[in-house]
Amino acid sequence: MENPSLHAIAKKLAKFTVLAILLISIAFIYVGEAEIQCQGKCEDLPDCDVFCRRSGFQTGKCYPPLYQYCCCST
């Protein structure tokens, strides 16, 4: 026979674990959101990071697959 108190503890632990995973997932999604806007081709904007900073963004870089677009992020 199972011990009823162990079953109740396991059930509460399972609920807590699911809730904790959900909250952590939501926190990572919210924190990880950075708005990225591609401004043009990297061949036209040779210093992508400086261009983006002057345009009011935090950073800028040329993104794969071909590193051809200068994208700025907040």
- In this prediction the pTM is 0.51
- Is 69 in contact with 40 (CB distance < 8 Å)? yes
What pLDDT, on the 0 to 100 scale, is given for residue 70?
Answer: 92
Neighbours of 23 (CB within 10 A): 10
Would strands 36-41 and 59-63 be described as parallel, antiparallel, or unpaired? unpaired
Dihedral (CA of 24, 25, 30, 32) sign? positive
Split the chain (74 residues) into runs of 10 and give each run's mean pLDDT.
72 76 64 75 90 93 83 90
What pLDDT, on the 0 to 100 scale, is given for residue 56?
Answer: 92
Domain residues of the chain, as ranges? 1-33, 35-74
Cis peptide, bond prior to residue 4, ω within 30 of zero: no
What pLDDT, on the 0 to 100 scale, is given for residue 15?
Answer: 79
What pLDDT, on the 0 to 100 scale, is given for residue 28?
Answer: 59
